[in-house]
């Protein structure tokens, strides 16, 4: 099996204790047992042992070639299978950035994807350009699905509360959850203005696209809380593009469309109070607090974050498209209620 060069450790480190047996054989002592190893064909025993002794995580492949006098192919013939067997790992100190710099780069990726996949998509195009032609249920349904995503009992917020994190990282998700509960109350009032009761909300079934996004966020809340925090920051951004016809700012794009569509005034005013509070109250900044004081973010973590950003934004675009497709159909009721 040939390991791609890019996957070889920069500075190979032997994760076993090298010892010489009674008969002069090389033994690798690991937590799971003792493994006898032999020099590959064409390499002397002494060269083999010298190479193993130098696998201490302080030398590159080129350093090993120079110090042992072996060529690169011979060195890799030892290192490659050892990587596959889990006997050799990366010994180099990861190149890391400050949490602020890493977050800034992640935000740039998320913002670009938000523009390309979500704000340029069919939902926002119809809402902002032709709100008068849309069924009112599209607007009400969008707010309902957002409530189920952000504030429902099966949402991602509660996923962080059962974790045995240290006090520092845990404090912010708990604070975020408390803020979400308060904002959820305001959002519920908007739905109450169009006849959706608290009992209705407790029994409402989200669309499959909402459920998919919820499960994704809940998984990241448990497995990658810093990326989860950045994703929540996107969800808490003001509703709509940053600019638009008539000079609308992001905080008024969706409420202005609701006004143009002639929606119930009680719904619009309660919804405007919620979105306005997010825009000017720094609500989204809570999701940035986990990055403060975090350890340096290494390059591999950043690469994973950027890959997750694409997956997250595709699911977020599907969430919006699902709302438009389902609630535009006059045959579909506003509430899909689970009978208990």
Task: Write the DSSP assignment of 141-195 as a string of letters.
Answer: HHHHHHHHHHTSTTSSGGGGTTS---HHHHHHHHHHHHHHHHHHHHHHHHHHTTT
- Report the alpha-carbon distance of residue 28 to residue 260 in Å, rounded: 74
Please report which residue ranges of 204-264 form alpha helices under DSSP H.
208-223, 225-235, 250-261
Sign of the Cα torsion 30, 35, 40, 44 reads positive
Eight-state DSSP code of residue 295: P
- Report the alpha-carbon distance of residue 246 to residue 297 in Å, rounded: 41
Burial status of residue 241 (CB atoms within 10 A of its CB: 0-12, 13-18, 19 or more): middle
* DSSP H or E run through 17: strand 17-20
DSSP of 82-137: HHHTTSEEE-SPPPEE-HHHHHHHHHHHHHHHIIIIIITSHHHHHHHH-GGGS-HH
In the block, residue with structure tokens 């935000």: 107
- Report the alpha-carbon distance of residue 203 to residue 211 in Å, rounded: 14
How many alpha carbons fall within 13 Å on the CB side of residue 10? 6
User: Which is nearest to 273 in space by CA: 143, 170, 186, 169?
Assistant: 186
Q: What is the pLDDT along the chain (340 residues), one digit of tens a residue?
A: 444 444 678 888 988 889 988 877 888 988 878 888 888 888 998 999 999 999 998 898 899 999 999 988 889 888 888 887 888 887 766 667 777 788 888 999 999 999 999 999 999 999 999 999 999 999 999 999 999 998 876 666 555 544 444 344 444 455 555 555 666 787 888 898 889 988 888 889 999 999 999 999 988 888 888 898 889 888 887 666 654 433 334 445 888 899 999 999 889 888 887 665 554 444 445 555 555 555 678 888 888 999 999 999 999 999 999 999 999 998 998 988 765 4
What are the residues whose beta carbons fall under 8 Å from the beta carbon of 253, sequence distance 6 or more?
128, 238, 239, 240, 241, 244
Q: Please indicate, yes or no, whether the overall pTM of this predicted structure exceeds 0.85.
A: no
For residues 217 and 299, the answer to whether their CB atoms sit within 8 Å is no
């Amino acid at each position: 099996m040939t390991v791609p060069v890019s996957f070889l450790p920069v500075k190979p480190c032997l994760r076993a204790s090298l010892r010489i047996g009674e008969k002069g054989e090389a033994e690798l002592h690991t937590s799971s047992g003792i493994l006898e190893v032999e020099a590959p064909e064409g390499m002397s025993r002494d060269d083999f042992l010298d190479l193993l002794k130098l696998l201490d995580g302080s030398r590159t492949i080129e350093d090993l070639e120079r110090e042992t006098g072996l060529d690169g192919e011979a060195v890799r013939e030892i290192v490659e299978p050892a990587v596959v067997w889990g006997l050799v790992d990366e010994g180099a100190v990861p190149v890391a950035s400050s949490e602020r710099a890493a977050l800034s780069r992640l935000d740039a990726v998320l913002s670009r994807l938000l523009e390309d996949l979500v704000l340029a998509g069919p939902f926002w195009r119809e809402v902002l350009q032709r709100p008068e032609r849309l069924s009112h249920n599209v607007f009400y349904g969008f707010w309902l699905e957002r409530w189920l995503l952000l504030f429902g009992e099966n949402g991602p917020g509660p996923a962080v509360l059962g974790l045995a994190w240290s006090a520092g990282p845990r404090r912010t998700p708990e604070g975020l959850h408390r803020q979400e509960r308060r904002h959820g109350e305001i959002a519920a009032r908007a739905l109450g203005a169009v006849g959706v009761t608290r009992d209705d909300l407790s029994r409402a079934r989200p669309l499959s696209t909402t459920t998919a996004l919820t499960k994704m966020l809940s998984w990241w809340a448990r497995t990658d809380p810093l990326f989860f925090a950045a994703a929540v920051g996107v969800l808490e951004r003001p509703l709509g593009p940053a600019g638009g016809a008539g000079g609308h700012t992001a905080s008024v794009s969706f409420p202005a469309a609701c006004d143009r569509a002639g929606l119930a005034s009680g719904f619009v005013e309660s919804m405007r109070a919620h979105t306005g509070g997010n825009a000017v109250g720094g609500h989204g900044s809570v999701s940035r607090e986990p990055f403060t004081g975090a350890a340096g973010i290494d390059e591999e973590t950043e690469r994973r974050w950027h890959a997750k950003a694409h997956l997250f934004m595709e699911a977020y675009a599907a969430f919006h498209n699902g709302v438009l497709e389902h609630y535009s159909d006059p045959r579909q009721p506003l509430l899909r209620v689970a009978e208990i």
